[in-house]
Chain A
């Protein structure tokens, strides 16, 4: 079970308090109506499934109800960093 630092509560809490919401940094297109079906499909359905570093959104469901980002290693389950929505990751995959 993961031990997750909430950047809003500024404490480590148990995974049971959180929900993972999938890949982070998927911005909603600013003008959806001008997207082709393919572009809209990419935004809606296509997600990375990396072996290694993964940036994902977590929700502090039973805590502060804030969303934030986590960089997690999908092999070792190590959490490399947490950062607020709107910020960019410091730990990124090479290449």
Chain B
């Protein structure tokens, strides 16, 4: 297809560089400098998608970030799919592949539109909620169908091949927007010596000047912009970021910029290049020069392709050399839009009429239009357009001075294919709202401007409601000077260029064009195109009682699209206000939140993928585990061996073998991941006695002790063994997952409650490799490798000794988590693998068997030892665990947890207590989490007595074992409880001691 709407000359496109691209599977041509939208319009493509709810054909409406309809699915391959790309902001490149986001089988002939036509009247706001509510269980089914019908982009099914990154930036001044105000602010601040970042969402700096025919200082606007850009580039401390949207303005002048570095070059970033970058900027001062967006008017069938915003029409003509139609009707409430009629006429196409809603408009531009012989119809409005897939004509009627009703008969069905409308301009206040400031209505400019803020923020130009170019430039200079002064610099003087000011008449505050029928019966008048919200819908919402603007928004879904209602929200608020008989400031506004435009997940993630997002931690012996076939389990960030299956073994067979080998001869566990905190200082011992529940005053050098740690509420939160290394020197161990939390806990109490205690804490988890050998032959094995005297009476249970193991300096702790004779060998992490391998060299004759976390869990459960975090959940105190033996009642200081444990609720009878559980059928293993009840025949909901916390098959005992909570369980030994399961089975279990094996603890004392 030829570019039938392309002009022979003009615009900022390079006609010598033709680009081909694919839209909905068809090939088209455009030029370097086009956006996808301008290229589609050049090719005469009218329909760009189907609407969300009614499936009406939709066309391109704007030329920028506010575009509600031209939302495309982009990507040449599955991996490079990007949903919801605004065609108006996507630069064209050769080979670009895109398609309409919704429409089935395609946007041109859409099946769903039948539903829209037939059901239109029957699909008011809240339609889906009202219709598909019952039965509630079916909603998930309905939702899938509704969402498919509604369309909208899809995510890629393959991994994104591109790289994204984040950069932290610091500057004196961040200028947002590089239109005339932003350029002047940045230039003035730069000349004053400030370090400046200036960012703009467009591919070139200049803002609306890129599509303007104004002259500045005797030059074309484009030449003037080029000069300013050249000077800015000469400053070493000015960073210029085109194609960079400032998407968020956060507290303390923190801004996020989404820079698209290669999206304009190719489907995939060239090798070695980053596709998109997120700049995280901390700025001393910020100038918002974000400009303004034109409001379309709301009138009947205003969504038919060919209805556009007036300034967008000018942009397509002046910047891209594209006239998006043949015959134009322009409707306006203000003088500025007359420029569009002039631009259209200068492009050599017909302006059918300018329809001005004001009775007697006066101004330079109006005179210029009249002088060209263009018909100007005053005191009137386009109340309705005709046409299905493209505008074919308009109905015009006289309206009253307030714009509230049609006076007289609707008349003159004029034929045209394009309707451009302008209801005035809305300052782009979005960023100023992000930190909580509410915009304020300004009657003078008929729009919201930024409200007061606590941020170090200045505004200039269109965002301030200042639209005349000479005043915009002056505000830019002033903002740059003020920023410089506030930064303590001497503000430079920037000469203002000579700009002709245009005499304009007063604009009319009109948002919703009246129709000869009441709104509810008039043709659909769209407010929010993307979510299919109409004026009638808003009227209905208020009639149903949704009177707060926030409620109207949520009920109608106005502003909930990917465009966040940039185009329609102000019109929607004005309509709500009119219906409620209030003013716009009384009705108020919703606030905008980050991000200003949608952002890719790639840019959010940056390099924080895989290991860089969540690091993996490995022990010093990891290589050996991998080589010996370990299956791994994640414990926090640690990769811990779970079990070591041999060829052909099931998991249970491996566990049975590991459990038996340990109890019968000797097993070995990599325990390096346990948290280790080195504690030193003359008050270390006192500190320990305050944070542990048990006594520490008399623990001698060379001794170890198990301790429970509680929070102030008396609930257990961690446990572990602490050893006395010297009179003022201890080594605390914590659970693997709790290490960081415990260290922070210790620091909190030391720094905030007891700073007078002299004590220091250092994490040494990574400094030591820890291997535990456990089983009756562990002493014999260790004896072959150590110089430490292992005599059972000299090196007793709960002692530790320093010496060498395999020639390496080591600390050996005789502590046990299996109930067997055990030695925990600690060596410097660098020697870990060496010592581990030495142990295996000597251990072969004892059948030394490596085991992982699962066997560790089984062996400790056979002994009734708890695992903090598995058998505790922050709601159990030591007595609930049957561990009152670990609570010291005679300690002088009221340690953490003591008072908490004495609270009324903690001492009441019938608390849930940890007990052992033996299933009646020893072959049946209870599922962890199963709920205990007294009577399984009770009607649901049953009274629940507690739940299973740990449950395993014990090969050593030849039966299942379990631990769990039961109300008053410690008093109910021998009684039965029942565990009804989701599959209908009921498992009966007997309450027993949790110590299933060696209740006297003889095995560890040999």
Give A contacts to B, CB under 8 Å: 1-3, 14, 19, 21, 27-28, 31-33, 35, 37, 40-41, 43-44, 57, 59, 61, 65-67, 75-79, 85-86
B887-905 interface with A by 8 A CB criterion: 894, 898-900, 902-904
CB–CB A33/B903 < 8 A:
no
Give every chain A residue within 8 A of B435 (Cβ-Cβ): 77
CB–CB A57/B752 < 8 A:
yes
Q: Which of B253, B254, B435, B899 has the most CB of A within 10 A?
A: B899
Q: Looking across the interface, which residue of chain A has its beta carbon closest to that of B748?
A: A67
- In angstroms, Cα B744 to Cα A63, docked, is 13
CB–CB B899/A40 < 8 A:
yes
CB–CB A2/B252 < 8 A:
yes
Q: Looking across the interface, which residue of chain B has its beta carbon closest to that of A41?
A: B903
Sorted nearest first, the 8 A-B pairs with minimum C-beta distance are A32-B899, A3-B252, A76-B454, A32-B894, A77-B251, A67-B751, A1-B254, A33-B894
Chain B's nearest CB lies how many Å from the CB of A52? Answer: 13
CB–CB A21/B748 < 8 A:
yes
A-B contact pairs, 6 of them (CB 8 A): A21-B748, A31-B894, A32-B898, A33-B898, A43-B712, A77-B252
Chain A's nearest CB lies how many Å from the CB of B292? Answer: 27
Chain B's nearest CB lies how many Å from the CB of A11? Answer: 12
B251 partner, pick from A2, A27, A32, A37, beta carbons under 8 A: A2
Give every chain B residue within 8 A of A2 (Cβ-Cβ): 251-252
Q: Looking across the interface, which residue of chain A has its beta carbon closest to that of B252?
A: A3
- In angstroms, Cα B320 to Cα A6, docked, is 52
Give every chain B residue within 8 A of A32 (Cβ-Cβ): 894, 898-899
CB–CB B748/A33 < 8 A:
no
CB–CB A59/B748 < 8 A:
yes
* Interface check B282, CB cutoff 8 A: yes
CB–CB B436/A76 < 8 A:
yes
CB–CB B282/A65 < 8 A:
no
Q: Looking across the interface, which residue of chain A has its beta carbon closest to that of B248?
A: A1
- In angstroms, Cα B902 to Cα A78, docked, is 41
- Given known contacts A19-B744, A33-B898, what 13 new A-B pairs fall within 8 Å (CB)? A1-B252, A2-B251, A3-B251, A31-B894, A40-B900, A44-B712, A44-B900, A57-B752, A59-B744, A59-B748, A61-B744, A67-B751, A85-B755
Render B222-259 as a binary contact track against A, CB cut-off 8 A, 1 for contact: 00000000000000000000000000001111100000
Chain B's nearest CB lies how many Å from the CB of A31? Answer: 7
- In angstroms, Cα B753 to Cα A21, docked, is 14
B742-780 interface with A by 8 A CB criterion: 744, 747-748, 751-753, 755
Q: Looking across the interface, which residue of chain B has its beta carbon closest to that of A33?
A: B894
CB–CB A67/B252 < 8 A:
no
Render B865-902 as a binary contact track against A, CB cut-off 8 A, 1 for contact: 00000000000000000000000000000100011101
CB–CB B251/A85 < 8 A:
no
Give every chain B residue within 8 A of A57 (Cβ-Cβ): 752
Give every chain A residue within 8 A of B744 (Cβ-Cβ): 19, 59, 61
A-B contact number at CB 8 A? 61
* Interface check B713, CB cutoff 8 A: yes
- In angstroms, Cα B250 to Cα A33, docked, is 46
Chain B's nearest CB lies how many Å from the CB of A4? Answer: 9
Give B contacts to A, CB under 8 Å: 250-254, 282, 435-436, 454, 712-713, 744, 747-748, 751-753, 755, 894, 898-900, 902-904
CB–CB A78/B454 < 8 A:
yes
Give every chain A residue within 8 A of B252 (Cβ-Cβ): 1-3, 77, 79
- In angstroms, Cα B900 to Cα A43, docked, is 11
Give every chain A residue within 8 A of B747 (Cβ-Cβ): 59, 65, 67
- In angstroms, Cα B740 to Cα A61, docked, is 10
A85 partner, pick from B751, B894, B898, B904, beta carbons under 8 A: B751
Give every chain B residue within 8 A of A43 (Cβ-Cβ): 712
CB–CB A3/B254 < 8 A:
yes
Chain A's nearest CB lies how many Å from the CB of B100? Answer: 38
A28 partner, pick from B253, B713, B751, B753, beta carbons under 8 A: B753
Chain B's nearest CB lies how many Å from the CB of A47? Answer: 14
Give every chain A residue within 8 A of B755 (Cβ-Cβ): 85-86
- In angstroms, Cα B712 to Cα A32, docked, is 10
- In angstroms, Cα B755 to Cα A20, docked, is 20
Chain B's nearest CB lies how many Å from the CB of A38? Answer: 10
CB–CB B748/A3 < 8 A:
no
- In angstroms, Cα B254 to Cα A67, docked, is 24
Give every chain A residue within 8 A of B282 (Cβ-Cβ): 3, 14
CB–CB A33/B899 < 8 A:
yes
Q: Which of A31, A65, A75, A86 has the most CB of B within 10 A?
A: A65
B752 partner, pick from A76, A79, A85, beta carbons under 8 A: A85
Give every chain B residue within 8 A of A78 (Cβ-Cβ): 454
Chain B's nearest CB lies how many Å from the CB of A25? Answer: 10
Q: Looking across the interface, which residue of chain B has its beta carbon closest to that of A86?
A: B755
- In angstroms, Cα B753 to Cα A27, docked, is 7
CB–CB B903/A40 < 8 A:
yes
- In angstroms, Cα B904 to Cα A25, docked, is 26
CB–CB A1/B898 < 8 A:
no
Give every chain B residue within 8 A of A14 (Cβ-Cβ): 282
Q: Looking across the interface, which residue of chain A has its beta carbon closest to that of B902?
A: A33
Chain B's nearest CB lies how many Å from the CB of A34? Answer: 9
Q: Which of B252, B712, B747 has the most CB of A within 10 A?
A: B252
CB–CB A37/B903 < 8 A:
yes
- In angstroms, Cα B250 to Cα A44, docked, is 33
Give every chain A residue within 8 A of B250 (Cβ-Cβ): 1
Q: Looking across the interface, which residue of chain B has its beta carbon closest to that of A35?
A: B899
- In angstroms, Cα B758 to Cα A30, docked, is 19
Give every chain A residue within 8 A of B253 (Cβ-Cβ): 3
- In angstroms, Cα B903 to Cα A35, docked, is 10
Give every chain A residue within 8 A of B899 (Cβ-Cβ): 32-33, 35, 40
CB–CB B752/A37 < 8 A:
no
Q: Looking across the interface, which residue of chain B has its beta carbon closest to that of A69?
A: B752
Q: Looking across the interface, which residue of chain B has its beta carbon closest to that of A40?
A: B899
- In angstroms, Cα B964 to Cα A32, docked, is 32
Give every chain A residue within 8 A of B903 (Cβ-Cβ): 37, 40-41
Chain B's nearest CB lies how many Å from the CB of A70? Answer: 12
Chain A's nearest CB lies how many Å from the CB of B595? Answer: 14
Chain B's nearest CB lies how many Å from the CB of A43? Answer: 8
Chain A's nearest CB lies how many Å from the CB of B437? Answer: 9
B751 partner, pick from A19, A35, A66, beta carbons under 8 A: A66
- In angstroms, Cα B254 to Cα A23, docked, is 25
- In angstroms, Cα B250 to Cα A14, docked, is 12
- In angstroms, Cα B253 to Cα A47, docked, is 30
Chain B's nearest CB lies how many Å from the CB of A75? Answer: 8
Q: Which of A27, A33, A76, A78 has the most CB of B within 10 A?
A: A76
Chain A's nearest CB lies how many Å from the CB of B662? Answer: 39
Q: Looking across the interface, which residue of chain A has its beta carbon closest to that of B761?
A: A65
- In angstroms, Cα B755 to Cα A29, docked, is 15
- In angstroms, Cα B435 to Cα A57, docked, is 23
- In angstroms, Cα B753 to Cα A65, docked, is 16
Q: Looking across the interface, which residue of chain B has its beta carbon closest to that of A73?
A: B454
Give every chain B residue within 8 A of A44 (Cβ-Cβ): 712-713, 900
Chain B's nearest CB lies how many Å from the CB of A66? Answer: 7
Q: Looking across the interface, which residue of chain A has its beta carbon closest to that of B763?
A: A65
Chain A's nearest CB lies how many Å from the CB of B280? Answer: 8
Q: Looking across the interface, which residue of chain A has its beta carbon closest to that of B893?
A: A32
- In angstroms, Cα B755 to Cα A86, docked, is 9
- In angstroms, Cα B752 to Cα A86, docked, is 8
Give every chain B residue within 8 A of A37 (Cβ-Cβ): 903-904
Give every chain A residue within 8 A of B900 (Cβ-Cβ): 40, 44
Q: Which of A19, A31, A66, A77 has the most CB of B within 10 A?
A: A77
Q: Looking across the interface, which residue of chain A has its beta carbon closest to that of B747?
A: A65
Chain A's nearest CB lies how many Å from the CB of B912? Answer: 20
- In angstroms, Cα B282 to Cα A63, docked, is 19
Q: Looking across the interface, which residue of chain A has its beta carbon closest to that of B282?
A: A3
Give every chain A residue within 8 A of B748 (Cβ-Cβ): 21, 59, 67
Q: Looking across the interface, which residue of chain A has its beta carbon closest to that of B905?
A: A37
